[in-house]
Chain A
Amino acid sequence: MLGYALRRLAIAVPLLLAVLLACFILMHALPGDPVTAHMGPKYDEERAQAIRERLGLDKPLLVQFGLFVRDVGLRFDFGDDMDGRSINGHLATHIPATIELALAAMFIATIVGISAGVIAAGRAGKLRDATVMTASLAGVSLPIFWLGLLAQRCFRRGGLLSEWVGFAGVEVTGRASDATILTFTQLEKAAAADLGPAPTSFYLIDAAFIARDWSAFTDVLTHLALPALVLATVPTAMIARITRAAIGGELNEDYVRTARAKGVPRRRIMRRHILRNAAIAIVTTLGAQLGYLLGGAVLTETIFQWPGLGQFVVQSILKQEHRQLMAAVFVIAIAFVLINLLVDLSYGLIDPRVRLQRQNT
């Protein structure tokens, strides 16, 4: 297994280098001079020159690339934005926000999607199967930004549900209410003064284990629920479809008939035999979907004003913050490469043939 893991790791290295090069090209391919765009009508040659010098934009391209490889590639230091604030600082708050949302959505999608797929495959061709498949096709076709807006309109305070059935409504924007965020800021200050553990910026963890504040925890959870449910729609549908197809392909295999002939209960056949064999296809989908959620939650984050990477990308484009955009794309690309690596490694764990076969070649 270790040999297999190392070989997979070796394949990831050139991919990471390609990402690094692509990001550098991207940063310089972006149109317009970012400094001019940043200063707008108050353009002043001397100050512009000072900003260029500070950001190293006045150096020859090759030197800039060398510095880029050193800073970004080796030190993970993305430098400053136009206003002189550290981009790493921005990322430190935006990355956990996106991961928290993506994992929550993935949690929902995995459970609902696999269950729906199993149910559909077990009743192939019947009404239950048709219902699941139709629902999943509708799920894939739903514009997620529309679904998000509808959800907000219904569930927010004073929304449709409170008009119709008196539902109190929930906060629909941001990661937490101001009071909770204040609690977290105080935690940070306390940590800076060595008075307690530093918060992780994963709000659920911070609220439950560091602040140990029940009301903060429920506050974070209510903020998380709606965007996570909306974001989970497409992955749920995809996982359900793939699970059904993968299980459907196994149902007529000889080993299933043998197990049934031996009198193994249906549930046990499904869990111990069929799901095991369908696992590779399902895990591949799970990995791909998680990757899409980490980088593709742009629309959901925009609607729910969730301060994650997706929103960061949109803001960078609208403000022409080239360096910031490059940093976000770089982080998302790295996450992608890592997830693909983990998926590949899991093949080795699920299916012994994979790790052995690679060893022989």
Chain B
Amino acid sequence: MHFELTSWLRRFLTTHRAAAVGATLVGIVLLIALVGPIVSPHDAMDPVTDADAYAPPSASHWLGVDSQGRDIFARLVAGARTTLLIALLATVLSAVLGSIIGAVSGYAGGKTDFLLMRGVDFAMSFPGFLLAMVTVAVLGKQLSNVIWAVGLVGAPLFARQMRAEVLRIASRDFILAARAVGAGPVRVMLFHILPNCVAPLIVLSTLAMGTAVLDVAGLMFLGLGGDPYQPEWGLMLKQAMEELGRADLQMTAAGGCIFITVLGFNLLGDGLRDEFDPKIKAGK
């Protein structure tokens, strides 16, 4: 099978306009997170020397200066890196952990399947954000634990999806053939089943990134992410709440960044799902 990535991308982005908008938003935010802190002239942590606290926007400080005398634009750009990196790590954790649970559940069947899936049902019947908060409470209020909390809470969704995929694929002839020639369960899983589940996993990961950004920023906003001085969008909103009325620009910018990022991932994820889900396609 020959797969042309560029021609596929061109077709995908022209047929799914909303997804193209989403991809653009995500691309911009990723670009800012990658190169922003390098090109930004000011430090995100130290107070600037050429302006007072609460200074309005100027040529040197595009979004002004916050109450601690720090450049808001520099913090916003550095915050993109923090928020996105934590959300990304959490999503990877969700995907890996959830996929393993789902794969084992679907492949083993029987009692293992029953127990694992009841556990997944149990975890999914609670609001994810509350579970994430409780997880942080158990692990301790640190940035690294925010990754664990958001990652663990996202895992059940992947487990369900992966189990369904494994059940769909495991009964196909090529799996039977692989097992007949003596491939063990791990080999079948890694080399025969997993490559066939890539598309749904990408769709789910994209959508999960949106949720993860919201959850990470929310946990930080509540003060559950450790060091309150680090540049992070949720923390910037927390600071803006404490100074409501005097930090309008910081509030608008930090919240707007979260909104744009989440919207971008949701638009892109919806588009990818329409593209990859044969059921929806057939209905068109």
Contact = CB atoms under 8 A, between A and B. Distances in A.
Given A141-B259, A153-B248, A336 B125 contact: yes
Q: Majority SS of interface residues in chain B?
A: helix
Contact of B136 (A137, A299, A317): A317
B258 interface: yes
B237 interface: yes
A46 to B, nearest CB: 29
Contacts of B137: 30, 316-317, 325
Interface string B116-134: 0000001001110110011
B130, B133, B218: which has the most chain A beta carbons within 10 Å? B130
Given A137-B270, A149-B241, 17 more contacts: A26-B138, A30-B138, A31-B139, A137-B267, A138-B259, A141-B263, A141-B266, A146-B254, A149-B240, A153-B245, A291-B127, A296-B127, A298-B218, A299-B221, A299-B222, A329-B130, A336-B125
Interface string B141-182: 100000000000000000000000000000000000000000
A323 to B, nearest CB: 13
A317 B126 contact: no
Interface string A142-160: 1101110110110000110
B170 to A, nearest CB: 27
Contacts of B84: none
Contacts of B251: 146, 149-150, 153
Contacts of A43: none
B26 interface: no
5 contacts: A141-B266, A145-B237, A145-B255, A298-B129, A325-B134
Interface of A: 15, 18, 26, 29-31, 134, 137-138, 140-143, 145-147, 149-150, 152-153, 158-159, 291-292, 295-296, 298-299, 302-303, 313-314, 316-318, 325, 329, 332-333, 336-337, 340
B140 interface: yes
Interface in B235-258: 237, 240-241, 244-245, 248, 251-252, 254-256, 258
Interface residues of B, number: 42
A31 B140 contact: yes
B37 interface: no
B103 interface: no
Contacts of B234: 145
B69 interface: no
